[in-house]
Amino acid sequence: MTITLTIFVAVLAAYVLVAAGLARLIKNRDDFYVMGEQGSTLLLVGTLAATFLSAVTLMGIAGISYSEGPLVIGALGSFGAWIGTLIAVVWIGRKMKAMQCRTMMDFFDRRFNNKWVSVVALILMVIGLLGYGIIQLIGAGLVLAEIINVPFPVIIIAFTFALMVFCSLSGMYGVVYTDTMMFFTMLAIAFVISPMLIDQASLESMRDLGERLPGYWTLAGANGRTFSWSISQFLVWILFFACTPALVSRVFPAKNDFVILKVAIIGVFFAPALQLMVYMAAAAMQVIQPGIEPADRAMIVGFMDHTNPALAGLGLAGLMASIMSTASTLFVLTGFALARDLYEKLFEKQVSEKRSVLLGRVSQIIVSIIVCVIAIARPAGIYWISIYAGSIFAVAWLPTIVGAMKWRRMNSAAALACMLVGSISFVLLGELERNALITLPAGLDSLMIAFALGTITLIVMCLVRSPSRYELDRFEEMKSQRMSEITIGRFLQQDSTGATLIREYRRVWLVLLTVVVIATALWGFFFVRLGL
């Protein structure tokens, strides 16, 4: 057995064993869906950062950084993703957590209590999660199959079997714990392997890349992309990340508000830290080995050919982690949607705690089988769906959620119209553009137009139609639900002197100051060495 295959098997086995061991912690539906709300800062930072760093970063964007320069996506597109992540955690996720939501669908159900809104939101969620997840699994699985020389279907069966074990046996516990394990392999890529590659290339040689490849250290990059393209990347990524269920739902297992606030600081620090270190290493690869084709293999070539065998194995494990952590989150949420949001709530089935957990497990198995079959068959339709899948949350969900949280006049008709207009116009514009029937002005993306159309529809519907009594009551109730008050109440219940509350409060300040100092030192160092 080759070393790469050994690593592949060992890493999968480790994840499966850990997830299987966690199954004993599942006693009721809250354990299965939100870890019994016992998520610590480490676990939630781990799962957030691991979900954030997908194979797109390690391959696609690393490839662009390698061939065109690290600033092309890193300077504005990724910046949008980091800010979007912050919004997802500290605003949308925190508010939904205060409303006691277990899934994002709970928000739509409680805020509107309208079956049509729930059905449309659910359909969009399943399409969005599965379409985005499967295509990532296929893309990265093909590369992995080539590296370890194992047939693609075997890779997919192994992955989906592992995902089935995580998700069905231990629900959110399995996903969060294995994500945290994966986070450490990603840290190794960012802070061990990447610095080694940067050191091999030397920062001086990297800085001189601008002479060999004009524009390499500019926003336009070596291929001279337009400024409007960079701006559109920023907007697309911020809209996409701000309300994607994969990130927002990371907040729901949090133990208390202090954990969420610490995750907002540490987790959001790791988003740029993990990404920029990879982009810099990709630039280093341009010095070490120019001419890698296709460019999205730059980091893999770096791991395999320019580090020692142990680090190459770690790099491979990190690549697997980037595929699996994103996929496990997307698939576990799809399973939750089928079991909890579709069967239990939309069909109004009253089920016991035990049966609810069983139902959750069965739906995870069904999702794994569907994913496996689609990924192996690779029907043309999945590629078509994937073009629109991930961004559907930005155009359909984001205006609806923001309106529902902030506007008293928000009503179910506006929510429904916004989701339909946003998603349909997005697909329609995309198809017209793809088939060269229309040409959008430079820097204007179909996502932005669809977002604007959905938002305008929402505003018009809110102005022409009044909210129901239920919707007004829920809005007032929602406004009064605050994570801080819930947390203060719980802490004082356990310790009426407030000593524990004061200690936790001080800890958040300490974390905040420490992370600001580390970020200033890290990014200041790189700027001084590369920018002056």
Partner 1 sequence: MDFKPYVLMLFGNALLTTLISAVVVAVILLREYRPTIQRLKQERRTRQR
Q: Which is nearer to partner 1, 125 or 284 (CB)?
A: 284
Amino acid identity of residue 448, one-letter, is: M
Q: Verify binding: residue 56, partner 1, rule CB under 8 A.
A: no
Within 13 Å of residue 70, how many CA atoms lie on the same side as its CB?
21
Q: CA nearest 200: which of 38, 308, 120, 347?
A: 308
Q: Which stretch binds partner 1 (CB under 8 A): 107-115, 447-455, 463-471, 495-503?
A: 495-503
**Which contiguous run of DSSP H or E holds residue 525?**
helix 499-531
Q: CA nearest 168: which of 362, 436, 411, 449?
A: 362
Q: Which is nearer to partner 1, 29 or 250 (CB)?
A: 250
Instruction: Report helix, strand or coil for 40.
Output: coil
Q: How many residues bind partner 1 (CB under 8 A)?
A: 46
Q: Which of residues 273-312 bind partner 1 (CB under 8 A)?
A: 273, 276
- What backbone torsions phi and psi does residue 27 show, to the nearest 5 degrees? -110, -30
Q: At what angle do helices 41-52 and 77-86 cross, to 10 degrees?
A: 150
Q: Which stretch binds partner 1 (CB under 8 A): 2-10, 15-23, 51-59, 213-221?
A: 213-221
Member of 90, 148, 163, 176 binding partner 1 (CB under 8 A): 90
Q: Verify binding: residue 83, partner 1, rule CB under 8 A.
A: yes
In angstroms, what is the minimal distance from the CB of 172 to partner 1? 24
Q: Which is nearer to partner 1, 70 or 131 (CB)?
A: 70
In angstroms, what is the minimal distance from the CB of 77 to partner 1? 10
Instruction: Report helix, strand or coil for 254.
Output: strand
Residue 410 near residue 471 (C-beta atoms within 8 A): yes
In angstroms, what is the minimal distance from the CB of 280 to partner 1? 9
Is the Cα torsion angle 49, 52, 57, 61 positive or negative in sign?
negative
Residue 451 near residue 238 (C-beta atoms within 8 A): no
Would you state the structure tokens that stand for residue 513, as one six-digit string? Answer: 């100051």
Distance from C-alpha of 454 to C-alpha of 450, rounded to nearest angstrom = 6
Residue 15 near residue 183 (C-beta atoms within 8 A): no
Distance from C-alpha of 199 to C-alpha of 195, rounded to nearest angstrom = 6
Member of 175, 198, 271, 402 binding partner 1 (CB under 8 A): 271
Q: Cα 370 from chain centroid?
A: 21
Residue 509 near residue 261 (C-beta atoms within 8 A): no
Q: Verify binding: residue 28, partner 1, rule CB under 8 A.
A: no
In angstroms, what is the minimal distance from the CB of 107 to partner 1? 20
Q: Verify binding: residue 488, partner 1, rule CB under 8 A.
A: yes
Member of 161, 227, 383, 523 binding partner 1 (CB under 8 A): 523
Q: Verify binding: residue 202, partner 1, rule CB under 8 A.
A: no
Q: Verify binding: residue 501, partner 1, rule CB under 8 A.
A: yes
Member of 217, 241, 336, 343 binding partner 1 (CB under 8 A): 217
Q: Verify binding: residue 375, partner 1, rule CB under 8 A.
A: no
Residues that bind partner 1 (CB under 8 A): 70-71, 74-76, 79, 82-83, 86, 90, 217-219, 261, 264-265, 268-269, 271-273, 276, 482, 484-485, 488, 497-499, 501-502, 505, 508-509, 512, 515-516, 519-520, 523-524, 526-527, 530-532
